[in-house]
Amino acid sequence: MPALHALIVVDPQVDFCPGGALAVANGDSIMPHINTMMPSFDKVFITQDWHPEGHSSFASQHEGAVAYSMIDMAYGSQTLWPDHCIAGSVGADFHPDLNTDYAAAIIRKGMNPMVDSYSAFFENDQTTTTGLGDLLRAHDIGSVTLVGLATDFCVAWSAADAAKLGFNVTIDLKACRAIDLNGSLDKSLDVMRSVGVTLTH
């Protein structure tokens, strides 16, 4: 089993912080904690939501739809979101308080206009890979700790996929914040525990 341990920082972006288009309460407060964690890991990887304009997961693209409602897509159920993290926009930038100097790589996701991508490893069709799993193996990573935004969506999906790919997975909840949409936080914690993810506080 590879011995190296990576920190994966999930979507620490302006649009997911207070004042952003899809703000997570206190999302900005985790940045200093993440910065202090980075030097203690062998490698750091950062993911970045990077949507084209008019992405199919945006409520604005579905007549009569409202943000946070659900719709059936070809690949399954999909939450409809406010327009956010549009490629090249200020909202898609990393939060200015985040130190990106330690990043070995930045993984952009959500670029396919027809498929959303919560996980750092797979798009929501659960088939199309981002390449992160292979990248971690190329760096001899056996264990990953995940932090970032939001606990119950992109962090949780990333953690579950990492566990399914055979990595030892921990989530540091001190450095995560949740949307908690209709009980989504508790549901996501249960799913993560069920696939062997370690949750720390």
Active site residue 187: no
Q: Is 41 helix (H, G, I), strand (E, B) or coil?
A: coil
Beta-ladder partners of 126: none
The token duo for 24 is: 């997570």
Which is the catalytic residue, given 17, 154, 161, 176? 154
- Give the span between the Cα atoms of 52 and 152, in whole angstroms: 23
Active site residue 83: no
CA torsion sign for 8, 141, 39, 99 is negative
CA torsion sign for 81, 73, 60, 96 is positive
DSSP collapsed to 3 states, 46-110: EEEECECCCCCCEHHHCCCCCCCCEEEECCEEEECECCCCECCCHHHCECCCCCCCCEEEEEEEC
Active site residue 152: no
Which is the catalytic residue, given 49, 83, 85, 109? 109
Positions marked catalytic: 11, 109, 154
